[in-house]
Structures are given as structure tokens and as C-alpha cells.
């Protein structure tokens, strides 16, 4: 389900706050200011579900087509990239893995987990830290084999959800997938959108003498109409 389009004022609030934040925090700022859900709840949500919600807002604001296209790795044919959102179905429950005769259960990482390992010196250290935090049986010894198995399962889950777009070639019917960092991608689009909104406020304020809140409260259609008349 696609959420309703966020208000122009909310877009500017996200930009104002997010520009000084770490990308992990920005994702929470976008979701809390658009959706109204408390930050601590969003931080405890799995990253898969977070991304599915971000994708929902992206679709509401900018549609489900991505600018540009991908090329078929088999025949080189150009293909438009469309996003599919299924926030309700984002797999969120724990994963169970059998590795070398042991069965372990690990929950999906959340924003709180990402923040906890953000300061690690190396990728190895941060991935071991992430696995340790998410394994539900604290008595398990975390060795490399176990850590890799958990990560592979997370990866498999991630492919089923928001951050990955499945593509099919119209020419040779080859299928492939494209991973996008939706949090980063949406932030860049919001930045451009916010700067454009400020430009529109500037123009309409000069022309009609209206205040910023008055201009931002106009629907997009009405704002565009006045912009057409003013320029
Ligand atoms: Zn092809």
C-alpha cells in the first residue's frame, strides 16, 4: 500500500534536520517526520521493514519509476527500472540456520544494531558484531562459519525485500536483480526536492507577497499553476 503524499512543509523539515545527520539517522528522520511513528520504535524495526517503508514514501512522492535504466547483462538491451513496494510483506521475523550440526536463530538487524557497530574499525569486525547482537541464543560460540551462514541468510532475505529490484529483459527474457540503497537514494531526491520548493516559495513570495507557510500549504497543482502565472 502506498502512503499518502507528505506535505511540502514536512519535506523541508526532513531536509533541515537530515542534512546534519549520519545516513542511519536520516532514514529515521524521514520516516518519523513523514509517518509520525516515534523514533525509538522505528530504530527497533528491522532494516528490511525500514527500507520497505522508505520505498513507500519514495513511491508516494516521486512515483515508482527510477530515473535512468539498467542494461541487460546478457544482451545489453536497456531496461527501465520500476520499484515494487510490498511493505506489509517485508520479511521481518527471525531466521533459523543449520550450520555444522548446530541450529541457530537470529533476528533481522535493526537500526539500533547498525548504530552499535557503526564505529567498528573493519568490515569483519562490524559483521561479527552484528551477528553477535542478533543471535538469539547467547550461549552459541560465534565462529567465522556461523557468522558467514547468518549473513548469507540475511542476504537471501534482503533480496526478497525492498532494496532489491528484479528486472527482466524484454528482448532475451534474462532475469537479474539490482540492489539500491533506498535510504541514500531517497535522501538525495529529497534534497533536490527541498531546494526546488524553497525556490518556488521565493518566487511566489516576491510575486504575491504570501508567507512561506501559506505557499507550502498550497497543493502541488495549485502551486504549479501560480508558478506558471508568475514566471
Ligand atoms: Zn537481454
Q: pLDDT tens digits for 69-107?
A: 788 989 988 888 877 665 555 567 888 888 878 888 999
**Structural domain boundaries in the chain:** 8-64+180-230, 91-160
Q: To the nearest whole number, what is the mean pLDDT of the chain?
A: 87
CA of 54 to the centre of ligand 1 (A): 30
Record the pTM.
0.81
CA of 68 to the centre of ligand 1 (A): 17
CA of 37 to the centre of ligand 1 (A): 42
- Whole-angstrom Cα distance, residue 149 to residue 109? 15
% of the chain with per-residue pLDDT over 90 = 44
CA of 229 to the centre of ligand 1 (A): 46
State the SS3 of the chain. CCCCCCCHHHHHHHHHHHCCCCHHHHHHHHHHHHHCCCHHHHHCCEHHHHHHHHHHHHHHHHCCEEEEEEECCCCCCEEEEECCCCHHHCCCCCEEEEECCEEEEECCCEHHHHHHHCCCCCHHHHHHHHHHHHECCCCCCCCHHHHHHHHHHHHHHHHHCCCEEEEECCCCCCEEEEECCHHHHHHHHHHHHHHHHHHHHHHHHHHHCCCHHHHHHCCHHHHHHHHHHHC
Q: List the single range of 3-12, 65-74, 220-229 with lowest mean pLDDT.
A: 65-74
CA of 170 to the centre of ligand 1 (A): 7
Amino acid at each position: 500500500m502506498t502512503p499518502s503524499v507528505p506535505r511540502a512543509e514536512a519535506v523541508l523539515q526532513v531536509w533541515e534536520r537530515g542534512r546534519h545527520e549520519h545516513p542511519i539517522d536520516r532514514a529515521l528522520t524521514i520516516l518519523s517526520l513523514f509517518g509520525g511513528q516515534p523514533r525509538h520504535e522505528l530504530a527497533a524495526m528491522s532494516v528490511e521493514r525500514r527500507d520497505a517503508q522508505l520505498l513507500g514514501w519514495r513511491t508516494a512522492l516521486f512515483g515508482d519509476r527510477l530515473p535512468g535504466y539498467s542494461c541487460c547483462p546478457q544482451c545489453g538491451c536497456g531496461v527501465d527500472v520500476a520499484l515494487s513496494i510490498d511493505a506489509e510483506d517485508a520479511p521481518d521475523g527471525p531466521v533459523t540456520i543449520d550450520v555444522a550440526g548446530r541450529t541457530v536463530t537470529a533476528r533481522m538487524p535493526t537500526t539500533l544494531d547498525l548504530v552499535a557497530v557503526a564505529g567498528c574499525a573493519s568490515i569483519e569486525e562490524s559483521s561479527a558484531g552484528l551477528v553477535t547482537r542478533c543471535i538469539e541464543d547467547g550461549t552459541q560460540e560465534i565462529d567465522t562459519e556461523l557468522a558467514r551462514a547468518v549473513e548469507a541468510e540475511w542476504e537471501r532475505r534482503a533480496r526478497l525485500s525492498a532494496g532489491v529490484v528484479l528486472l527482466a529483459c524484454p528482448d532475451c527474457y534474462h532475469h537479474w536483480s539490482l540492489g539500491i540503497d533506498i535510504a541514500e537514494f531517497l535522501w538525495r531526491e529529497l534534497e533536490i526536492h527541498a531546494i526546488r520548493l524553497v525556490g518556488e516559495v521565493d518566487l511566489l513570495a516576491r510575486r504575491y507577497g504570501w508567507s512561506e507557510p501559506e505557499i507550502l500549504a498550497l497543493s502541488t497543482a495549485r502551486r504549479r499553476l501560480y508558478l506558471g502565472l508568475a514566471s
